Every structure is written in structure tokens, then in C-alpha cells.
Structure 1
Amino acid sequence: MQNLQKNLADLDQSIQKACLTVGRSPQDIRLIPVTKTKSIDVIQHAIDLGLVDVGENKVQELILKANHLNNPKINWILIGHLQTNKVRQVIQYISEFHALDSIKLARKLNNELMAIHKKLEVFVQVNTSDEESKYGIKPNELADFLLELEKFDHLKVVGLMTLAIHSQEEQKIRHCFRTLKALLIETQKNYPSISRLSMGMSGDFKIAIEEGATDIRVGQAIFGHRNLSHTFYWPE
């Protein structure tokens, strides 16, 4: 509990510093704690410290934890790739989905949401690193993709999401985030309600904040090292 509290305090200081660097308000940044591989007890400690948003990559892991904790105050956010055959299982649990990347998936989501009379906030995932192994639509496909999404009444597109290139070169990482920010600016000409940028993880959230992130997905900086490699959840 003490380690978790200290990690959150240190993270808050890092967020404030990154915001100060570019003249942003820390209140503009939403922290999404990512609890993949972490135990129910650890998540409960985080909730006891005041966290309400919880991000998970894997459908089965999210469902297991949501059922065990059974806490209506938690906003479960699916931030990882979603297969169409798992949509029905997970939609009743989640308040947001940060990785919409195909019309096929959008249609399945919309149909299943319609059946349970629910609307879902979604982020469109864009592949800004141009890596074939990463999910997400291409930047030049975004305008047409958003136009197609207009037909799905139970999906509310609120933002864009990306994973930066896994690199030690800061400029390459920064380029990914700048690309998404530029896409958002262009998108808002036709869709002013799309206003959020989900980008930045433990290793690059400070750069993401400097480049305009509104939602950062942070796991290890809060909960410590996990036994599984991040590539188990995020392809490279």
C-alpha cells in the first residue's frame, strides 16, 4: 500500500512537471492505471487510494477482475485489441474501448450494444509508427473510417489512440504522438466532439503529455515491474 501510494505521488509529480514544460494544466490529463497481470488485492489497494478508472488489455482478465471486485464505481476500460468473437462477453463490463480499428469490429460492437440498450465511448486506434505488427488504421484512412462510423448509433467516438514506436530515439516516439495530434486537429474540423488523445505509457507518457495527450495509460510506473513482457500485450 505504501509503495503504491508513493508511486502514485511520484507519478503525479512527473505529470505536473511535464505539463509545466509545455504550459498545460495537470487537470487536463486523465490517468488510466493499467492493471494487467496485477492481483485483485493490488487493484483493491489502488481503488482504496481513490482510483476509479482501470485499464485492462485482455478480455478474460478484465471480466475476471470485474466480477471478483463487483464494484459499480470502477470504470473498466478495455485498452487492448478486441476480437469480434469476444465482443458479447465484454461489453456489459466496460465504459470505454480504446482500440477500435475496423468497421467489422464497429458493426459487431454496435449490434451487441443495441441488444442491451447501451452506448459506448470509443477511441479510434491509429497506427502512427507504420509498423505492420501493430494494430490500428493508417493515418490517411482516418477520415473515411470516421465517415463509416457515423452509421453506428451506439458508438460514441470521443478520441484517437496510438501506441508509439518502441524505440530509444525520442524523436521517433515524439513523431508518433505529433502525428496523432495533427490528425485530431484535422478531425475536429468535421467532428468537434472528438477531443481526446489516448497516448503514452510508463516509458513515454511525459513525451505524450508534451505532445498533447489527454489520457495516459500507465501500468509499471504505478504497480511496479510485471513478470510478462509488454510484448505479450502490445505487439511490436
Structure 2
Amino acid sequence: MILENLEEVNKRIISACKKAGRDPKEVTLIAVSKTKPSSMIEEVYGAGIRAFGENKVQELCEKYKELPQDISWHMIGHLQRNKVKQILGKAELIHSVDSLRLAEQIEEDAAKLDLTVDILLEVNVAEEESKFGFKLEETEEAILKIATFPHVRIKGLMTIAPFVEKSEENRFIFKKLRQFYVDMQSKNIDNVTMNVLSMGMTGDYEIAIEEGATLVRVGTGIFGTRYKIGENEV
């Protein structure tokens, strides 16, 4: 069932790219494997997927030890400052840098290990109280500040759109972030590559792709319903 789901997701990605006049190679699928056992991840890995997303530090660290070393792990959940050092060197990309204080902590811990850490700034475009992230109007100032950190490299932006009945309702969220992303690209800020736009989940990744996403985070659409309940599906 998982492989059929994955095939369907890949077809939809290709279809969304075609509709938007984009090359499917511009979009990377991140299989969100939070709460899923290693056996399920291995099945998706066997189908050629190498990018997996985790929400919790402990789970990412455990799976990092258990699973093949060529997996690209993405930290997509809220990251507490006291857990930063645990994932440095393990997560290829931290999507969820949602405050200046967190970025400062990453810089501090990365400096001790002499590492350069790739991050995305999480932008709460819809300004939902239940979600973390910079407000859109605060983000440029944060980018300029974090760009001065020698051990942190801003690769782009991430957002989690609201949970909606119809995915089309989130188009303006993705469009808004894409416009800001393009604006930031044009400024050519030192230490900011701004070539990654992580947006779109199971319910709305096709719309996100149409609006310029380069990474989409799909969990339920591949693995089925999660074991834990009471949270938005991804």
C-alpha cells in the first residue's frame, strides 16, 4: 500500500509541475516519517526516496543510527534550544528555525563543533497563534541578522499553511511567501543562498508546487494515517 501511495504522490507532483510549467526535478519530495517504524521507512527507501522528515529530535537521532547513512534527514518540527546540539551533523537541513534565539543557539553549538549548519526560516504567513515562526514583516530583519552568523547558512524559507477543507484556500499563503522569497533572492544577501522553499503537505502540496515550492513534506499521503492522533496530518 505504501508503494502505491508513493507512486500516486509522485504522479501528482509531476502533474502539478506540468500545470505550472516547471521541471519535476525542481521539486524534492520529503517523506515525513515521524512516528513511523524503521521498517516502513526502509520500504520507501527501497523505492528510491532518500529525504525523510522528522518532528522530534530523539526520533531523528534513533533513526539516524538505525538506517542507511545516505538518507538525508530533515528536521521539520519545532526545535527546542536545549536539543540543538543533538541533531547537528545528523540533520542535513533544519526547516523550523522560528526565532532569533534558536538561530543564535544553533550558531553557538555549531561553532563548538566547527560545523556550518543549513537552515530555513519558518514563516508564519497566516499568523496563526497555534503555530511557531516569524511574521512575514519580521523575516527580512531576521535574515539580515542571522546572515552575519559564520556557522549558519540560510538556504531559504518554510511555512506550514493552515488546515483547510479545500487546498485552494491556501494558495494565497504560498503565493505570498513565494513573492517574499523572490524579493529576498534579488537582494543577494551575503551568506544567504535563498534557493529552497519548503511548503505544502499532504493536503495541499500540489497547490504549493504550482506556487513555487522546491520541497514538499508528505507523510500521511505516503504512509497512511499516523499512529498518534490529535494533531494535523502532514
Class of the TM-score when normalised by the shorter of the 2 chains: over 0.9
Provide TM-score, normalisation by structure 1: 0.93
- Residue 109 of structure 1, aligned match among 94, 106, 109: 106
Q: 2 CA distance for matches of 1:85 and 1:115? A: 15
What letter is aligned with 2:177?
Answer: L
In structure 2, the CA distance between the partners of 1:59 and 1:223, relative to structure 1 (3 Å rule), is same
Counterpart amino acid of residue 22 in structure 2? R
Letter matched to residue 21 of structure 1: K
Cα deviation for residue 163 of structure 1 reads 0.6
Q: Give the corresponding residue for 1:90.
A: 87
- The answer for the alignment partner of 1:50 in structure 2 is 48
Q: Per the alignment, do residues 170 and 77 of structure 1 end up closer, same or farther by CA in structure 2, a change over 3 Å counting?
A: closer
- 2:52 match: secondary structure: strand
d(CA) in 2 for partners of 1:108, 1:230: 30
Aligned partner letter, 1:182: Q
Partner secondary structure for residue 74 of structure 2: strand
Partner of 1:4: 2
**How big is each residue's C-alpha offset from its partner over 1:127-165, in whole Å with a ceiling of 9 and x where there is no partner?**
011111111100001111111102211111111000111
Q: Determine if contact 1:57/1:233 at 8 Å carries over to the other structure.
A: no
> What is the match of residue 220 of structure 1?
220
Cα distance, 1:4 vs. partner? Answer: 2.3
1:171 Cα shift? 4.6
Using the aligned pairs only, state the percent identity: 37
* Paired residue secondary structure (2:9): helix
Aligned residues: 231
- 2: CA distance between counterparts of 1:229 and 1:59? 19
Q: CA deviation at 1:222?
A: 0.9
Aligned-pair distance for 1:22? 1.5
Match of 2:134, SS state, is: coil
Structure 1: which 5+ runs fail to align? none
Show CA shifts across 1:78-135 (max 9, x none).
0111010111112131111001111111111011111112111111100011111111
Map Cα deviations across residues 156-183 of structure 1 (whole Å, 9 max, x no partner): 1111000111112445311111111011
Matched, 1:65 2:67: no
Query: What pairs with 1:148-167 in structure 2 (closer than 5 Å)?
Result: 148-167=145-164
Q: Is the 8 A contact 1:55 1:217 kept in 2?
A: yes
| Alignment match, 1:25 | 23
Tell me whether 1:128 sits opposite 2:125 in the alignment.
yes
Q: For residues 149-188 of structure 1, what are the structure 2 equivalents within 5 Å?
A: 149-188=146-185
In 1: Cα distance, 2:185 partner to 2:54 partner: 28
SS of the equivalent of 2:39 reads helix
Gap runs ≥5 in structure 2? none
Does the Cα contact within 8 Å between 2:123 and 2:134 map onto a contact in 1?
yes
Give the counterpart letter for 1:195 in structure 2. Answer: N
